[in-house]
A and B are shown apart, each in its own frame.
Chain A
Amino acid sequence: MTSRERNGIQYIRQEDADYPGKLTAYSGMPKGIYVRGKLPAEERPSVAIVGARRSDSYGNETARRFARELAGAGVQIISGMAWGIDGMAHEGALEAGGDTYAVLGCGVDICYPAGHRDLYEKLLRCGGILSEQPPGMPPKAGHFPARNRIISGLSDLVLVVEAREKSGSLITADFALEQGKDVFAVPGRVGDALSQGCINLIKQGAGVADSPGVILEALGIDEKKNRGKNGEPEKFLLAKEENIVYSWIRLQPVTLEELVKKTELPVRKVMQILVSLELKGCIREIQKNDYVRTD
């Protein structure tokens, strides 16, 4: 057994049967791909979710939610395992118990960024790590635009969640257009630097993704048929005061202090309610004393 095989790294060449069929349609694709784990299944729909590395919690939560719902409907999620949107997309898919795949700009045996070690391990179990680069190759700036063509190549459409005006994820969108695939963007707030890239894409004709349902529809997946996995969105049973606090929490984070001011409840009561809501799964604490809705 070669050391490669011992590490569970396969090398799939273009002429092999296992080589992703979706890639063969385009020129300029790699002669061979290294894989740890599995390859995305050809017959199932795949969506690439990409976006800014220095994303904010709005982008993070949106990426996570979209990935969760899409994966819950059986869609495979493909991304780059980078900080920010990529990582959140993988997490969302894993939360729904779905399969998710990452294409790296370095060897498949290297976890880049190092802080995503846990995620990397999970991806090995619930999907796969792919790369054009040989094992041991460290990440280099030049590799990343190139790997984006593989991300877009493997998917049926590309979703950009958050991007600044000059973002690497726009390169992925460009590849998608070259490959004749649909690009969707999540609109943000006007004036937000992190939404400018997405807004520009929309101006150029990208689809507006204001809910996962839009993506599912574009893929031709009947939402209702797959409701079984997700079920009806939980109607949280909230007491009156809990509702008051909950109503002030959005996808944009709000601090404990702000909630105390807005609800005019004593701080200890607000704190009790927030923790209770968190335990019920209605909200999440993304940063000390900073809260967002979970759906």
Chain B
Amino acid sequence: MFSTILSAAVVGIEAYPVQVEADICDGLPQFCMVGDLSSEVREAADRVRTALRNTKFALPPKRITVNLSPAHIRKEGTGFDLPIAAALLTALGIIPEESVQDVLIVGEIGLNGKVRSVNGVLQTVMLAKELGCRVCLVPVANVGEGSVIRDIMVVGVENLQELLECLLSFETCKKRARIPEEWKEKRRMHTEDFREINGQEAVRRAAEIAAAGMHNFLMLGSPGAGKSMIARRLPTILPELTLEESLEISRVYSACGLLAGEEGLVKTRPFRAPHHTVSANALAGGGRRVKPGEISLATRGVLFLDELPEFSKSALEVLRQPMEEGQVTISRTSGTYVFPAHFQLTAAMNPCKCGFYPDRERCRCLPGEISQYLHRISGPLLDRIDICAETSRVEYRELTSLVENESSAAVRVRVEAAQRIQKKRYQGTGWQFNSQLPSSAIRRFCPLGNAETEVMEAAFEKMDLSARAYHKIIKVARTIADLEGSKRICREHLLEAIGYRSLDRKFWGR
């Protein structure tokens, strides 16, 4: 007897429909699985057979063939266990064929029939809705992420028994379906706050400007000055996630299995801080089974690279393209994968190898070593950093100070206001933030008056700026003006932007 169940495969972060077909007929007892399967999918045969037996449904000694079509997509992962079990039960006549129409099933099964979580349930349910399914049966651990999609019934099943009950009775299905939560605009739940940072006025200000315009940001300073602390708190001054942004992040997290057990969509901006030994694949995405990398896990949030010069050149090289395009494209023979990568880059580094330059009492580096240290960072990467600020040594007095520092919430209000201005300004264009403007668009969106042009000319000469630095400064000045609510870019805004300008190679070791 023949049966077919709808399921899905997750490739990269996309879900593709997969038909699980089962056929039971007379012949030598055999359980054969076909359809370009990876090894863990093939193992489903044994898992399902044992699980069914333990749930009191022994498979008859007949010839069983299971096909996962279309046969040209490689099937990976363990999510096919459950639909295969369902297909077999249908082929055996235990489940009526009408019951499995317009139902999408995914899940892994343990030997005792218990259903385990799988990756990519969010996009799977979205796919089910697109295909016009009424019901989606998923592992109970994944029901939180699945149920955020409206207009489709999502039921979490804990074991094979429950699967059967749901498929046999639509009423039971409806009763067990999870009610989707309302998407509330204000759902922030951060544990860290800007209030906890004492002193460091310059870097706080620089961080605020970076957040407002989504500028890439570099902190310079001796070890222990608080660079990581400030980086960690950057997401707390960024605006609340919109539903769209959350969906983008959640799809990536779901595909990596990071949403299992959580309730619904990602609510806070991601903060990713890979160690400097990270490989290019882990950073950008890829690997044998193409998975999203750190930059995609940081999309709509912050990617923090601590000890920037310690990162391998090859790892940093892969950042360039995604930083331009906001997405990363990975090409393989099996196909092309596109993952979102709208991250804001924050980096930290010491001024020299020992970290204490220019304190000559403590710095033991030779002058040549100091300029060499900066040269380890890829020039093109430095080019994409708009803002640079130095953290200073915190004095004891400051550390134990009782002064009230500004909270994240207070800073966020200003950042949100500045971002609203940018949204309005760039409506109709493809850009969202000042940092994204190409140099060709700067004249249009950031016009300068006479006094301002004079300042830029003086700076260009005196500080020996490159054309790229010139444009970056103007963009940052635009953000500073937005933070003040000023329509025009004034002289003061430019002066401040010049002060926070990014490093120049020549700057070092003099």
Q: Which residues of B contact A267 (CB under 8 A)?
A: 201-202, 204-205
Query: Known interface pairs A286-B358, A288-B507. Does A256 touch B367 (Cβ–Cβ under 8 Å)?
Result: no
Contact of B367 among A83, A278, A288 (CB under 8 A): A83
A272→B495 contact, CB < 8 A:
yes
| A95 part of interface (Cβ distance < 8 Å) | no
Asked whether B82 is an interface residue with its Cβ less than 8 Å from the other chain, the reply is no
In the bound complex, CA of A114 to CA of B392 (Å): 31
Interface residue B248 (Cβ < 8 Å from any Cβ of A): no
Flag if B371 contacts A54 (CB, 8 Å). Answer: no
The proximity string for B residues 207-221 relative to A, scoring 1 for CB distances below 8 Å and 0 otherwise, is 000000000000010
Contact across chains for A56 and B358 when beta carbons are under 8 A apart: yes
Determine chain A's interface SS by DSSP, over half rule.
helix
Contact assessment for A288 and B360 in the assembled complex, using a CB-CB cutoff below 8 Å: no
Q: B199 near A287 (CB under 8 angstroms)?
A: no
B351-395 interface with A by 8 A CB criterion: 351, 357-358, 360-361, 366-368, 371, 388-390, 392
Q: Which residues does chain A contribute within 8 Å of B462, judged by CB atoms?
A: 278-279, 281
Interface centre among B351, B357, B503, B510 (most CB of A within 10 A): B510
Chain A residues with CB below 8 A from B50, complex form = none
| Mask: chain B, 460-473; 1 = CB below 8 Å from A; 0 = not | 00110000000000
B499 near A274 with CB under 8 A, answer yes
The docked-state distance in angstroms from the alpha carbon of A241 to that of B357 is: 30
A255: which B residues are within 8 A, CB to CB? Answer: 390, 392
Q: A260-B202, A271-B499 are in contact. Are A287 and B358 (CB under 8 A)?
A: yes
B496 touches A272 (CB 8 A): yes
Given A53-B366, A83-B367, A279-B455, A287 contacting B357 (CB threshold 8 A): yes
Residues from 442 to 483 in B contacting A, C-beta threshold 8 Å: 455, 458-459, 462-463, 480
Chain A min CB distance to B185 (Å): 30
Given known contacts A260-B201, A279-B462, A115 and B366 CB-to-CB distance under 8 angstroms: no
User: Is B496 touching A256 in the complex (CB atoms < 8 A)?
Assistant: no
Least CB separation from B209: chain A residue:
A268
Given contacts A56-B358, A288-B507, A289-B390, contact A268 B367 (CB under 8 A): no
Minimum C-beta distance from B416 to chain A (A)? 19
Chain B residues within an 8 Å CB radius of A157: none
| Complex CA distance for A56 and B392, rounded to whole angstroms | 18
Contact code string B495-508 (vs A, CB < 8 Å = 1, else 0): 11011100100010
User: Taking beta carbons and an 8 Å cutoff, which residues of A are in contact with B?
Assistant: 53-57, 60, 83-84, 113-115, 193-194, 253, 255-258, 260, 267-268, 271-276, 278-279, 281, 286-290
Which 10 A-B pairs rank lowest in CB-CB distance, beginning with the nearest? Answer: A257-B392, A56-B360, A289-B390, A83-B367, A271-B499, A272-B495, A267-B201, A275-B495, A288-B390, A275-B499
